[in-house]
A and B are shown apart, each in its own frame.
Chain A
């Protein structure tokens, strides 16, 4: 296993190089007009001067070497358009903490509630009227059916404008030092994940609980609580475990919808803004960060899956294909 992990980390470095190179080339394909606010009114000389200061006139290889040299010195560069002249490390540093805090709290809530709801629903499929399953299904269907852009607004409105919300003193917008304003964004972030985890855990548990060894356990007279805790749940959680490290790391990215609705100064939407503004240095830095996050997420997911289910192995086996 250790050998496999070292190998994969080593390969990931090559992958990072490929990602950054591809991204670098793609960014240079973007229309030149995008770098200027009033391209039509500028003279050719002005445009050339600006392009020179941005370093866009050099050959691609030269630009790339300059970029990598900068990167190896631990410098992410400075923003050229989003906040001109501000080091990217500073921009990201200001924003990342907020997204991470909100994201981790909401993910914690989503995992606890979502997994318990999933277990509850799966266990209730064995009861006569399946009340728990039906109610949970209604919740999941509602969340799935509405586009997330819409239910975020609904939560914001219902939470801050309704009689109940007003009496609780909920505010529409996020304020850093008022913890009460954190509640609504956290709910908005958590709802989708609760439904997601509950839906898939139910699916896997129902599939698992139809297996013969569960039937044997039931015939032996094992209490159903023990069966679902010790047998069904442990096997059903394996496919979900792969996504958990990724979800934790992904909270760093923030949520575009939620952060723009509550005007939270987080990471969500920063990448889209940077791409649309053609702030190349910022795009490169963000993609670098996100790539590290998602590569580590996949790796940790695989490791965790191997720990949770010892039958899974990534190491090369005799006779394996």
Chain B
């Protein structure tokens, strides 16, 4: 065996040496022209240099969908959203405004949950709480989305101008001071005095001052980064202000801005609760999470009626938690430093 193995190895070595020699000979035989020929210009391969398949939003989405908790809450959020629209079309739903009475014409008030076909019971005047909660969620989400959208658009635009353009600093600082100090209560009372109280009025009223907080938030962030070296470099190269704002400043802030917007929607709903608390919110015939929670809050001392607070608060909690988790996960995903593992 040993002898055979040895000879095999020798044979293999010889073969390899022959091959190498042949290859060397071939190369030497080839003429110099063939070795050093001019390469043709190929437009396609020229384009290929420095190509990367990195896409910012693609990577952000991929990082976002890797977060299981965030995806779960995204599904929950979408389900709630879908259900608020589907619910009135389901069979056997009651009208949120109808006052239910028994055979003697007396209102079926404060029926505990699960009895007489009322899934979540009825309120103090005999309206079905289940349908009121879904109608209220629909109203409140609508208010929340509208106010947050306006807040984001105006707030970001004003904030970035206020923070970056020093000539406008005076104007916006004082505008902020004026608007921030006119009491919201006074505006709301005056608006509800001029316009009919309702959903569009409250959206208008909340939008009127809602963007101030967002603008100040963005402005503070911009002031921190506006004189960093890379912005200075851009200015020295003569890049226009608009381009610096949208290419240098805003992308840097994507993560904090998304988090802030995600919190703006529940905040708008919370603000509506506050406005109802001081007594200038939506009229009671427009159910909203605000007036449902407020009604429930006043009944909290009676433990048998606590369900009237518990159910609307649960819905509000689910919405808020979903937005918070989604916003936080998206903010993490939006940071490009988290894209490369």
Q: Chain A interface (Cβ within 8 Å of chain B)?
A: 8, 11-12, 14-15, 18-19, 22-23, 26-27, 29-31, 140-141, 144-150, 153, 203-204, 206-207, 210-211, 238-239, 242, 256-257, 271-272, 275-276, 283, 287, 290-291, 294-295, 298, 301-302, 305, 309, 311-314, 316-317, 319-321
Contact = CB atoms under 8 A, between A and B. Distances in A.
B177 A295 contact: yes
Contacts of A312: 223-224, 227
Interface stretch (B14-22, B31-39, B84-92, B271-279): B271-279
Contacts of B321: 141, 144-145
A275 B324 contact: no
Interface string B176-216: 11101111011101100100000000000000000000001
29 contacts: A18-B178, A19-B182, A23-B181, A26-B182, A26-B186, A27-B186, A31-B193, A141-B321, A141-B324, A144-B266, A146-B313, A147-B270, A147-B273, A149-B274, A150-B293, A150-B313, A203-B255, A256-B277, A271-B185, A272-B278, A276-B185, A287-B181, A294-B180, A294-B181, A295-B177, A298-B176, A301-B220, A305-B220, A314-B223
A188 B212 CA distance: 26
Nearest to A278: B189
Given A31-B193, A311-B227, A256 B182 contact: no
Nearest to B174: A15
Interface in B267-300: 270, 273-274, 277-279, 293-294, 297, 300
Given A30-B189, A150-B309, A239-B221, A290 B181 contact: yes
Task: State the majority secondary structure of interface residues on B.
Answer: helix
Interface string B233-250: 001100001000000000
Contacts of A8: 173
Contact of A30 (B190, B274, B316): B190
Contacts of B106: none
Contacts of A149: 273-274, 277, 293-294, 297
A239 B220 contact: yes
B148 interface: no
B166 A238 contact: no
A317 B331 CA distance: 33
Interface in B321-341: 321, 324-325, 328, 331-332, 335, 337-338
A313 B227 contact: yes
Contacts of A294: 177, 180-181
B48 interface: no
Interface in B103-118: none
A239 B224 contact: yes
A272 B184 CA distance: 9
Contact of A22 (B176, B182, B335): B182
A19 B175 CA distance: 10
A253 B187 CA distance: 19
Contacts of A150: 293, 297, 309, 313
B309 to A, nearest CB: 7
B320 A287 contact: no
